[in-house]
Structure 1
Amino acid sequence: MSNAIITTSVEQTLAWGRLLGALALPGACIALDGILGVGKTQLVRGMAVGSQVQDCALVCSPTYCLLNIYQADASRPGAKTLYHLDAYRVRDADQFAAVGFEELLEQQGLVVLEWASRVPNLLPEDHLAIVGTVEAEFSRRWCIRAGGPVSHRLLETAAADWSRISAV
Structure 2
Amino acid sequence: MIERLLHGEEEQIAFGARLGRALGPRALVFLEGDMGAGKTTLVRGLLRARGHSGAVKSPTYTLVEPYELPGGPCYHLDLYRLGDPEELEYLGLREMLAEPALVLVEWPDRGAGWLPEPDLRLVLSYAEDGMARRVRLGAGTERGRMVISELSGG
**Could you say whether these structures have the same fold, taking a TM-score greater than 0.5 normalized by the shorter chain as the test?**
yes
Aligned residue in 2 for 1:70 = 67
How far did 1:126 drift?
Answer: 4.4
Aligned residue in 2 for 1:19 = 18
Aligned residue in 2 for 1:166 = none
Q: Which segments of 5 or more consecutive residues in structure 2 lack a partner in the other structure?
A: none
The secondary structure found in structure 2 opposite 1:81 is strand
Q: Which segments of 5 or more consecutive residues in structure 1 lack a partner in the other structure?
A: 74-78, 162-168
Equivalent residue for 1:88, pick from 80, 88, 91: 80
CA deviation vs aligned residue, 1:9-31 (integer Å, no higher than 9, x gap): 10000011111111111110110
Aligned residue in 1 for 2:37 = 38
The secondary structure found in structure 2 opposite 1:138 is coil
TM-score by length of 2: 0.92
Instruction: Establish whether residue 9 from structure 1 lines up as the match of residue 8 from structure 2.
Output: yes
Structure 2 vs 1, CA of residues 51 and 121 (structure 1 numbering), >3 Å: closer, same or farther? farther
The secondary structure found in structure 2 opposite 1:121 is coil
Instruction: Establish whether residue 131 from structure 1 lines up as the match of residue 123 from structure 2.
Output: yes
State how far apart, in whole Å, the 2-side matches of 1:51 and 1:92 are.
32
Structure 2 vs 1, CA of residues 117 and 160 (structure 1 numbering), >3 Å: closer, same or farther? farther
- Identity %, equivalent residues: 31
Structure 2 vs 1, CA of residues 39 and 126 (structure 1 numbering), >3 Å: closer, same or farther? closer
Q: After the TM superposition, which segments of 4 or more aligned residues of structure 1 sit over 2 Å from their partners?
A: 120-126
TM-score by length of 1: 0.85
Instruction: Work out whether residues 27 and 106 of structure 1, in 8 Å CA contact, stay in contact via their aligned partners in 2.
Output: no
Q: Is the strand fraction higher in 1 or 2?
A: 2
Aligned residue in 1 for 2:152 = 159
The residue identity in structure 1 corresponding to 2:56 is V
Instruction: Work out whether residues 119 and 142 of structure 2, in 8 Å CA contact, stay in contact via their aligned partners in 1.
Output: no
CA deviation vs aligned residue, 1:118-139 (integer Å, no higher than 9, x gap): 2233332242011100013431
